[in-house]
Amino acid sequence: MERAELLEQATVAKQAQKRIRIHCCTSTGCQASQSLDVKKQLDNAIKTHNLGDTVEAVGVGCMGFCGQGPMVEIEDADSPAEKKHYQKVTPEQAESIIGSLNGSGEADAIEGDPNHPFFSRQLLIVREHSGRIDPERIDEYLAVGGYQALHHAIYEMSPADVVQEITQSGLRGRGGAGYPTGLKWATVAKMPPGQKYIICNADEGDPGAFMDRSVLESDPHRILEGMAIAGYAVGATQGYIYVRAEYPLAITRLQKAIQQAKRKHCLGAQIFDSPVDFTIEIRVGAGAFVCGEETALIASVEGGRGNPRPRPPYPAVSGLHGCPTLINNVETLGNISPIIRNGAEWFAGIGTERSKGTKIFSLTGKIRNNGLIEVPMGITLREIVEEMGGGVPGANNVKAIQTGGPSGGCIPDRELDTPVDYDSLRELGSMMGSGGMVVMDDDTSMVQVAQFYMEFCRGETCGKCIPCRAGTVQMYQLLTKLLDEKATKRDLDRLKELCGMVQATSLCGLGQTAPNPVLSTLHYFEQEYLDLLQPDPITVAAANRG
């Protein structure tokens, strides 16, 4: 297929769209607030007002402001800058929203402010099409220039060029550890030719994180395109997407997207009539947090128990079925096509010196504006929480921000002016993680938070190595003892000792990072632990004797 043909398809798809598009969010969060009924009523109202020639209601992906859903946005092709959006729309309000378009009355719905910092401070790269296109129709993706980066890579670049481009962009793994993506690609590309695999890690097990789900539900083709480009770059012909079973909507949309892409020759054998083959299959997880760890994930894709194995050999050398395997997170793959499209220099110009590009965070917990934000690296936590998030509702103050899920830690309010990137968060004893950001206020007990995460790790450990299997249980029991106000200073010392041991001796990342929530709360909120301590009976007895 010539480039001209692809561009023509994009033009045709673009022309098929109506002048006024009414975007109605149909992601999991908004569907739970009856957004499908809203969409139905919008369709009905367009019919009754006879506006079918100029107006269409489009079911789109996530617009990010999940706490205020269902969201409805009106986009007029003649004045694209003037976007209106409504929040918490009910099916009954749909009629008046359509009515307001042809001047018959005002829309009877809560109108949001498109210039609110929550929107204006964002910089959209991975989520550029989220909430603007219908994820279930490939034409919508083609209309915004979809699959052109893949075409460009296959026909204009050599595999080595693609790897070089990704390396120069400075992109780092968005799964949380921040390993340079280009370096990983180069390792797999250097392996001798033969069967290689690409795996997209969509096992977003961190509680409090939902950015991967949102990207998969809102723009599934972007991930397929990123995987296909990766496949071309490293010489792999088979890809797997490992999705959590808890995300049924994402799975359905991915399946649809794969079928449509095959029909358009964007995937499958001989992509765009070139000699390049790349097929993608979906593998559904079954609810095990440890399967986000790459070696455990491979075991699970092979149909076995998700037990990690020691590294090296790294998956890049010997992974799925013993072949070189490239494993990237959803968000990492979502960055690939824009980098190929706009060049490495453009991407390297965003963010901080050592962390390039943007990061999606899911801002949740005790905060006014819940939802997803994509911000350039280097923005401060205060800007995120106070300006974009609107601070804590009610009279309370921010006490801490938990980042990085069970592997991360709590950052106290006094560190809010820290710029967010991989290295700064690690210095604070937390980590970027997948991007969950849970805001906690004065009412939250930090020891309870530590116990909550330890309970999580205790339940999710795979049991293969002793430090993690037994250590998490012991730490959980010590934390419970503290909260029951039965612990003494010796228990606290033992807890600290255990933390260090589990960190140093566990087999995989789950165990190595499990003590982080305890260590970081101990570091910043030690007084809360000390307040729970009881006098040690032995010391008391000795004092009485003395």
Partner 1 sequence: MTATRTSPPAKSTEKAKTQDGKPDKRFKVLDITMKRNQYRQDALIEILHKAQEAFGFLEEDVLSYIAHKLQLPLSQVYGVATFYHLFSLKPSGAHTCVVCLGTACYVKGGGDILKAVEEDVGIAAGETTEDGQVSIVTARCIGACGIAPAVVYDGKVAGQQTPEQTCDRIHGWKQADS
- Our finding on whether 504 is near partner 1 (CB under 8 A) is no
Determine which residue in the list 41, 300, 328, 461 makes contact with partner 1, applying CB under 8 A. 300
Q: Which one of the spans 98-106, 178-186, 266-274, 299-307 is the region binding partner 1 (CB under 8 A)?
A: 299-307
**Residue type at position 250:** A
- Our finding on whether 210 is near partner 1 (CB under 8 A) is yes
- Our finding on whether 374 is near partner 1 (CB under 8 A) is no
Looking at the Cβ atoms of 352 and 362, the one nearer to partner 1 is 362
- Cβ burial of 469 (10 Å; 0-12, 13-18, 19+) is middle
Provide the mask over 379-418, with x wherever binding to partner 1 is found by CB under 8 A and - wherever it is not: -----------------------x--x-------------
- Our finding on whether 440 is near partner 1 (CB under 8 A) is yes
Looking at the Cβ atoms of 32 and 110, the one nearer to partner 1 is 32
Q: Which one of the spans 50-58, 164-172, 411-419, 433-441 is the region binding partner 1 (CB under 8 A)?
A: 433-441
- Our finding on whether 206 is near partner 1 (CB under 8 A) is yes
Answer whether 236's CB lies under 8 Å from 278's CB. Answer: yes
Instruction: List Cβ neighbours of 345 (8 Å cut-off, separation of 6 or more).
Output: 168
* Vertex 242 angle, CA 241 and 244, to 5°: 130
Cβ-based neighbour number of residue 187 at 10 Å: 17
Phi, psi of 25 (to 5 degrees): -70, 130
Instruction: For the CB of residue 403, give the shortest distance to partner 1 in the complex, in Å.
Output: 11
**Residue type at position 32:** A
- Our finding on whether 266 is near partner 1 (CB under 8 A) is no
> Which one, of 478, 463, 464, lies nearest residue 522 by Cα?
478
Looking at the Cβ atoms of 173 and 435, the one nearer to partner 1 is 435
Looking at the Cβ atoms of 278 and 289, the one nearer to partner 1 is 289
- Our finding on whether 31 is near partner 1 (CB under 8 A) is yes
Instruction: For the CB of residue 448, give the shortest distance to partner 1 in the complex, in Å.
Output: 9
Determine which residue in the list 436, 467, 511, 515 makes contact with partner 1, applying CB under 8 A. 436
Query: What does the CA dihedral 253, 259, 265, 268 come to, rounded to 10 degrees?
Result: 110
Q: Using CA atoms, how far apart are residues 233 and 235, in angstroms rounded to an integer?
A: 6
Looking at the Cβ atoms of 146 and 433, the one nearer to partner 1 is 433
Sheet strands side by side (includes 84-87)? 55-60, 20-25, 72-76, 84-87, 110-111
Measure Cα distances from 460 to 242, 403, 454, 464 in Å: 18, 19, 10, 11
Under DSSP, the state recorded for 434 is T
How many chain residues are in contact with partner 1, going by CB under 8 A?
52
Looking at the Cβ atoms of 349 and 463, the one nearer to partner 1 is 463
Query: SS3 for 481?
Result: helix
- Cβ burial of 534 (10 Å; 0-12, 13-18, 19+) is middle
Binding site for partner 1 (CB under 8 A): 28-29, 31-33, 65-67, 69, 204-210, 213, 244-247, 283-289, 300-306, 362, 364-366, 370-372, 402, 405, 436, 438, 440, 444, 452, 456, 460, 462
